[in-house]
Chains A and B, each alone.
Chain A
Amino acid sequence: MTKNILLTGVGGQGTILAAKMLTIGLMESGYDVKMSEIHGMSQRGGSVTSQVRYSEEKVYSPVIEKGTADIIVSFEKMEALRNLDYLKPEGGVVVINNVEIPSMTNLTGEEKYTEGIEEIIEGAASKVISIDATRLAGELGSVKAANVILLGTLVKSMGLDHIDWEDIIRRNVKEKFIDLNLKAIKLGMDLAK
């Protein structure tokens, strides 16, 4: 059975590195993996989505169909709402980083950042895990590790904690950030319980 993971956020939040480590872990554990990324032009601040599909059998399409994501991990609240139609109506999980990054329309006052996003998502998803990943990462030493906290929550939620993520972090993160990220992934996994 193919599992579908959708990671989303705003350019610069580290979604692509998190997706990369996720796919390496899946590949090295023997799964077939396909990943599709949509990133816009190279400007800062756009919506970014990585779609990861894995299975013990062959994976066909690299893109996730709406209504089939087992889990959505959103690095920013509005992006969770934007991609919510990808979630499986039965048994879908949403992990939200409790952070609001205003868009251009919010900054100019054209649109007010929608309130109560968690409540909307709680009404739609079977399970919602809301995490202050950015604040917690800051307490660990750098807000940049928020992506690895979320990765930890993701892999625990998907029952992928048998994979040696610490080893994957050691091999894919700059040396001076290894200890920080090891703490981050452990914290993320604890938060999924």
Chain B
Amino acid sequence: MKQLLTGDEAIARGAYEAGVRHAAAYPGTPSTEILENIAKYDEIYAEWAPNEKVAMESAIGASMAGARSMASMKHVGVNVAADPLMTFSYMGVNGGAVLVTADEPGMFSSQNEQDNRNYAKMGKFPMLEPSDSQDCLDMVKAAYELSEKYNVIFMIRMVTRVCHSKSLVEVGERKDVPVKEWKPDPMKYVALPAYSRILRVQMEDRQKALEEASENSPFNYAEYTDELKDGQKVGVIASGASFWYAKEVFGETASYLKLGFTNPMPKNMITEFCQKMDVVYIVEEDDPYIEEFCQRLGFKVHGKDTFPPYGEMTPDVLRKSLTGDTLPEVNYDHSLVNKRPPSLCAGCPHRGLFFRLGKRKDIMISGDIGCYTLAAGAPYNAMNSTVCMGASISVGHGAQQVFNRAGVKRKVVTVLGDSTFFHTGVESLINTVYNQSNTINIILDNRITGMTGHQQNPGTGYTVKGDSTIAINIEELVKAIGIRHVKVIDPNDLKAVDEALDSFMDLDEPSVIITRWPCVLKKFSQEDLNEFEGLFQTKDVVDPEKCIGCKLCQKTGCPALIFNAEDKKVTINRTDCVGCDVCKQVCPTGAILKESEAK
């Protein structure tokens, strides 16, 4: 039966059909939906790990214990997971193991555009690159068979358009794969240098066998045409989504070599293809990975000399590179299109904090990855750095050390979310305590992992399957680490925000402020409803007689506040307003009231 699935859904379906029993992940666009869909299958144990390293290690343990296992993450997540990954490649598997990496050419929701195919080469483990949803399902199933056959973890490298595009998939039944027996095997599972040296030698034989597998893989295939383009035989070598973009632009006038098994590369197949062509184009996203391989074989191919070295290789990009122009478009004045920048939602609990934090002078704000990174822009201008998950606290520590030793009077305030704190912020805070920086560290505890679309985390009290579990108490945790100055505040209370910041500003030791209020888009749990009284159940209104049109309320950046140019007054969109009262506290004339207070 055919179904219309996204690539992420097809990976999950493939894992189900392949008999996977254990899956772990940390949310990250565009990979998040893989585990969310796997969690729907009762036959697969699924878990959100606090970070990608832990997810990878959980999958490694499951493989050792004999089950087919999967770890999935976004491309930068593999950086976090790289430590166990590189050594697990030496060890090999018991139950089949697959790592899915979701790369982001074009950086729709990521801080960089790294090409994770390089990890496969560096780690000497095999890699498959799906081009559409059917590939995703077929490759996952094949990867488990091959993983067990060749005794090695397989990596599946997706890109955003494969993850988030839907196409038709022929789905099948689940294969029941029993858990294999676990036996102690220190040579295999204990990475002592003496053992690793032996495994390292064996990897070379494995690599040769995998080269053979790549040459014979159905995922690598050529499509030849007799047609000539400008009197020449044109060949295109492509992998992933780029294959379909190339077909769109080169059409019937080119021959194709579609590569799906891309580490090791099928040397003979590429040689044969290139020898038959007069000119060869390599169409691939991110690095010249295939291109450099072809060059090493001695072929003069066109790749990054023709196409951009960055961004997606969508048909318009390829066409412009090849012909100098895109297809004709309608003419209109593009400057008439108004911007629609993303903004913190009405009722977002980050608003009150950043509105006040942005007013402070003589501080450096070290930020992190989350919805709250929007605080870097107007109207807050309340974030001075963002590097990677969990970096806020440790980058802030490094900066504070320099400021203090150089005699610069500048307090560092670090800011990160609850899920990001559990990800890698805890170790950073341990460093701050251990090496005694006097930073103020703010943990935005909105009771959920917000930006990736509301995943549970170790602080929420629920698992990915929706089961109740222990909610880790951030306040107790930071006290146990050694933080002696902790305040838990409601970030919608601007006076509380100011008082907390004031009280910690001159301390000589580290402090933590926990802003505890749920994300406005969260589906509230019973615990939320019990804890946060009257949660988002009121509305605010503007008294037009008192409004002087000063627009101070709009400096809070709330999208529910509308300024009417005709009467120079602000009104509040009743549908969007949830009564957080941040604007109410800012209004200098008391023009904003609770609906119940208004006449």
Contact = CB atoms under 8 A, between A and B. Distances in A.
Contacts of B247: 60-61
B374 to A, nearest CB: 8
Interface in B499-526: 521
A87 B329 CA distance: 7
Given A60-B247, A124-B331, A42 B454 contact: yes
Interface in A73-93: 78-79, 81-82, 84-85, 87, 89, 92
Given A84-B330, A84-B332, A111-B338, 17 more contacts: A40-B109, A43-B342, A43-B374, A62-B165, A63-B161, A63-B245, A65-B314, A67-B326, A78-B340, A81-B336, A82-B337, A85-B334, A103-B339, A103-B340, A105-B341, A112-B565, A120-B332
Given A61-B314, A63-B314, A41 B165 contact: no
A82 B339 CA distance: 9
A123 B161 CA distance: 33
A138 interface: no
B414 to A, nearest CB: 21
Q: Determine which residue in B108, B165, B319 has the highest number of CB atoms from chain A within 10 A of its CB, and name it.
A: B165
Interface stretch (B80-88, B138-146, B425-433, B445-453): B445-453
Nearest to B245: A61
Instruction: Give 7 nearest A-B pairs by CB, closest first.
Output: A62-B165, A67-B327, A124-B330, A103-B340, A35-B166, A67-B329, A61-B248
A58 to B, nearest CB: 9
Nearest to A39: B164
Name the prevailing secondary structure of the B interface residues: loop
B322 interface: no
B330 to A, nearest CB: 4
A27 B245 CA distance: 21
A67 B331 CA distance: 10
A41 B330 contact: no
Contacts of B554: 107-108
A42 B327 contact: no
Interface in A108-142: 108-109, 111-114, 117, 120-121, 123-125
Contact of A66 (B165, B166, B327): B327
B131 to A, nearest CB: 10
Interface in B304-325: 314-316, 319
Given A23-B166, A103-B340, A105-B338, A62 B319 contact: no
B244 interface: yes
Interface of A: 10, 23-24, 27, 32-38, 40-47, 59-63, 65-68, 78-79, 81-82, 84-85, 87, 89, 92, 102-109, 111-114, 117, 120-121, 123-125
B190 interface: no
A111 B335 CA distance: 11
14 contacts: A32-B168, A33-B166, A41-B371, A43-B344, A43-B371, A45-B340, A46-B340, A61-B247, A62-B244, A65-B326, A79-B340, A81-B336, A87-B330, A107-B554
B343 interface: yes
Nearest to B570: A107
Contact of B332 (A10, A44, A112, A124): A124
Nearest to B247: A60
Contacts of B167: 33-35, 59, 62
Nearest to A107: B562
A36 B339 contact: no
B4 A24 contact: yes
Interface of B: 2, 4, 108-109, 132, 161, 164-168, 241, 244-245, 247-248, 314-316, 319, 326-334, 336-346, 348, 371, 374, 379, 450-454, 521, 551, 554, 557, 559, 561-563, 565, 576
A105 B4 CA distance: 37
A124 B330 CA distance: 6
A67 B328 contact: yes
A89 B371 contact: no
Nearest to A82: B337
B314 A23 contact: no
Nearest to B561: A107
Contacts of A33: 4, 166-168
A49 B410 CA distance: 44
A86 to B, nearest CB: 8
A118 B332 CA distance: 12
A47 B340 contact: yes
Contacts of B241: 62
Contacts of A121: 332
Nearest to B558: A107
Contacts of B161: 36, 62-63
A26 B338 CA distance: 34
A92 B328 CA distance: 13
Given A42-B454, A61-B248, A68-B327, A114 B563 contact: no
B166 A85 contact: no
A66 B576 CA distance: 34
A42 B559 contact: no
A40 B451 CA distance: 10
Contact of B551 (A32, A108, A112): A108
A107 B248 contact: no
A125 B332 CA distance: 10
Contact of B328 (A60, A89, A111, A117): A89
A44 B521 contact: yes
A78 B341 CA distance: 13
A106 B379 CA distance: 14
Contacts of A66: 316, 326-327, 329
Q: Determine which residue in A34, A42, A47 has the highest number of CB atoms from chain B within 10 A of its CB, and name it.
A: A42
B340 A38 contact: no
Given A33-B168, A109-B565, A61 B521 contact: no
B341 A89 contact: no
A41 B327 contact: no
B333 to A, nearest CB: 7
Contacts of A103: 338-341
Contacts of A38: 108, 164
